[in-house]
Chain A
Amino acid sequence: MDMAKTAAEPLLRLEQVSKIYGSKQVLNGISLILYRGESLILRGGNGSGKSTLLKLIAGLIPASTGRAAGAASGLRIGFAPDRLPKLRMTSEEYLMHMGRIAGMAKASAAERIQELHTLLELPAGSRSMLIHYSKGMLQKVNLMQACLAEPDLLLLDEPFSGLDVNASDKLLALLHGLRAKGTAVVTSLHDPLPSWESASTTYRLHEGRLVPEESGRSGEPHTESAFYELDGLLPEFSRLVLAGHFPDTAWTAAGQAVRCRIPASDCQAFLHEFWQAEGTVLSLNRKEESR
């Protein structure tokens, strides 16, 4: 899968990489080139191999076949696993240890830890240990350790899991900032995140293969199609206008209450017009349909 990019040297290159556990082929012939400042989103169902691919990109596990180059050549990689265990340390103790192990000076590590606590709105200087943290607070510490040393490559496994809306916005700001500095970001995601998707290339892992999200619409071998289901309130006149603009969207209406089934490709534009028409979104869910 060649992604023609700027003239910059690739940060990482995977060539026909496969990963087999016993008789199960988790990844099959994955090829990927990653450049500085690039952002990739990995989608796929549970057990589709997203976490395995992230670990493989990080160099944490070896490939069964194929070649992964770059991860072992002095790249600074930040990795946030799907969840951080509850440790008997305060967030500052843990992050200071990680910073020192990564080779940061004590003073600069302390400064960075303070900065990240402020950015993600987690109280710094708390004497509470991580065993007493909520899921969202643990996730913030997890993300902080991954971003601590401003990595060249940042790998995030379900980073928004457990975060509230405000914290998600803060994380997005942090990720955009890191990208602007040249950090490549690979994120595995379940839930829709239009503001991050718009800045990223999205791939789907299906039966061990990596398929660009767009290819599902162009008829490439891909047996699932994504769509969004929106429940909301919209005046009838506006509904008729939107239905005209988005003929691929299926509607169910009862008075002002509507349920729309929106193709993934139209979602952003649809939402933009929906809000402009003063519609109220009650819920928005990403769904997949087997073909």
Chain B
Amino acid sequence: MIAMLEYVHRCFIRSYRYGAPTVIYIGILLLIYSMGNNAIMDSYAFTSSMLFVAAAAIGSLVIDVEVFNQEMATTLHARSLVRLSAAKLLYGWMFASVLGLFAVLYPALLGRFERLPNVEELTMGLLYHVFLAGLGVSLAGWFSVKLFESRFYAMLGLCIWIALAFGARGIAHALPDGWSGITYLLPPIQLTLHALMFYDGLPTGAKWRPLGALLLYAGVSVGLLLAVLNRRRLDYPGE
């Protein structure tokens, strides 16, 4: 796995594909923290949800970092498309998590909050960022040229899914009685946003529950994705 991670890292870094999502995300951080006195967990709510979007973009770029011929050769060396794809998703998560670490530490170290965050706030802030990064990457794996005719449709699908995730609460209210449960199929972004925005007033269990939901959703998403890839192998729809 380490050999595959090293290879994916070299491919990704030298492709410069990381540029757009990384620069945009860091640019957003610099912008919102250009002024001081920010509320700690409210800020983390915003930056973690933005990281979810950035991680989705990063995951989408990492999973397709190899072109088809290159991926065929690598798959045979790795002896498994599932292992190679898992390595790519893991790398995407690690890359996005580094951005999450930056998002948590940068304002704390530069004094951009209303006060110095305590250890619990820093830890939970980091966990929310890292888990949301994982969620973003796990979703992105579905929206790649492996399962879509073209990159355009894959990115369009990913954008729609992300928009639906952010609008889950509104969708639930708009749906007829008895149908709101269907929004549980959407990524649990609203749950995490709510937990971070009302962090101080929540009991301990309610602070951890969204993390469990993220872990469960991302785990199921990755598991299903790898099962589908194992079945389809490199039978790309665009090929």
> Which residues from chain A sit less than 8 Å from chain B, CB to CB?
55, 58-62, 77-85, 87-89, 93, 97-102, 142, 145-146, 148-149
Is A146's CB under 8 angstroms from B73's CB? Answer: yes
Is B73's CB under 8 angstroms from A84's CB? Answer: yes
Contact partner of A87 (CB less than 8 A), chosen from B70, B81, B233, is B70
Alpha-carbon gap, A148 to B76, bound state (A): 12
| B-chain residues with CB within 8 Å of residue A80 when the two chains form the complex | 73
Given A60-B76, A82-B69, does the pair A55, B234 have CB atoms closer than 8 Å? yes
**Does B7 lie at the interface of the complex (its beta carbon under 8 Å from any beta carbon of A)?**
yes
**Does B190 lie at the interface of the complex (its beta carbon under 8 Å from any beta carbon of A)?**
no
Is B70's CB under 8 angstroms from A98's CB? Answer: no
Given A62-B231, A62-B235, A88-B15, does the pair A100, B3 have CB atoms closer than 8 Å? yes
Give the nearest-CB partner of B78 in chain A: A101
**Does B74 lie at the interface of the complex (its beta carbon under 8 Å from any beta carbon of A)?**
yes
| A-chain residues with CB within 8 Å of residue B77 when the two chains form the complex | 98-99, 101-102, 145, 148-149
**Does B67 lie at the interface of the complex (its beta carbon under 8 Å from any beta carbon of A)?**
yes
Is B3's CB under 8 angstroms from A79's CB? Answer: no
> Which residues from chain B sit less than 8 Å from chain A, CB to CB?
3-4, 6-7, 10-11, 14-15, 67, 69-70, 72-79, 81, 231-235
| A-chain residues with CB within 8 Å of residue B15 when the two chains form the complex | 88
Give the nearest-CB partner of B84 in chain A: A101
Distance (whole angstroms) from the CB of B62 to the closest CB of chain A: 15
Distance (whole angstroms) from the CB of B203 to the closest CB of chain A: 47
Alpha-carbon gap, A85 to B69, bound state (A): 7
Please indicate which of the listed interface residues A81, A87, A101 has the most CB atoms of chain B within 10 Å of its own CB.
A101
Alpha-carbon gap, A145 to B72, bound state (A): 12
| A-chain residues with CB within 8 Å of residue B76 when the two chains form the complex | 58, 60, 77-79
Is A60's CB under 8 angstroms from B234's CB? Answer: yes
Please indicate which of the listed interface residues B15, B67, B81, B232 has the most CB atoms of chain A within 10 Å of its own CB.
B67
| B-chain residues with CB within 8 Å of residue A148 when the two chains form the complex | 77
